[in-house]
Amino acid sequence: MDKAKSFICEHTAEYILIPNLKNILHKRFSIITPIFPWTTREGSIISRQLHKHDKFRVVGLYPRRPKLISANNSEITIKINDQILLGAQCGMKLGIPIIAGCPLVINFWALGNNPNCVWLKLDQGSIDGFELKVENIQPPFLVNQMSRFLFSNEEELLTYLDERAEPKDLDTAMLSFITIKRASRRLESHSYFMLMGGYKPVYFLLK
């Protein structure tokens, strides 16, 4: 069987997913700030001084790439691996719900034409990776029977995130980000190079 292949990277998918999720979150929250945190930047001394009195909530997003078997096949494959599931489970325990998202596109031009995005639940209690196959039609049609992983509408997504995101200060949030990254890679201790490589969510700070 042919293997599904990527034609974009996660960072390219982020350019679509982040503003889409931000717009959804604005229906319930006043301020939404996306960050890709580093301890030496967002967690730096000056950052901690600037935000030492702040309280906010946090949600996370693992961007996923649409994959195709061939240029003539409109079926999109979305892969979720064990690292992403481990990170999401750790985030949930820390009061940071993490979802995955994927733009439903089959070329560059669809990516730039306000594409549909799907949002996935990652707290199913399993760390076994899985694949979703979606037909790129209106509305998207799920080929395999894994609909429990998909949010059916924006209100369901908002309620899910709102109910699970707990208030934090910056120090607590930064420690949580490190813990989530470590858990996703099954690392027992922290090192300076731990946050390099692997999968790291985009986080949204909510007020």
Does 48 or 137 have the greater pLDDT score?
48
Q: State the pLDDT at residue 125.
A: 77
- Report yes or no: 5 and 68 within 8 Å, Cβ to Cβ: yes
What are the tens digits of pLDDT across the range 90-112? 999 999 999 999 999 999 999 99
Half-sphere exposure of 69 (CA within 13 A, CB side): 12
d(CA 133, CA 19): 24
pLDDT category of residue 187 using cuts at 50, 70 and 90: confident
Q: Which pTM value belongs to this model?
A: 0.92
pLDDT at 56 over 60: yes
pLDDT at 1 over 60: no
Domain boundaries, the chain: 5-206
Q: State the pLDDT at residue 17.
A: 98
CA distances from 143 to 39, 77, 79, 81, 149 (A): 41, 10, 14, 19, 13
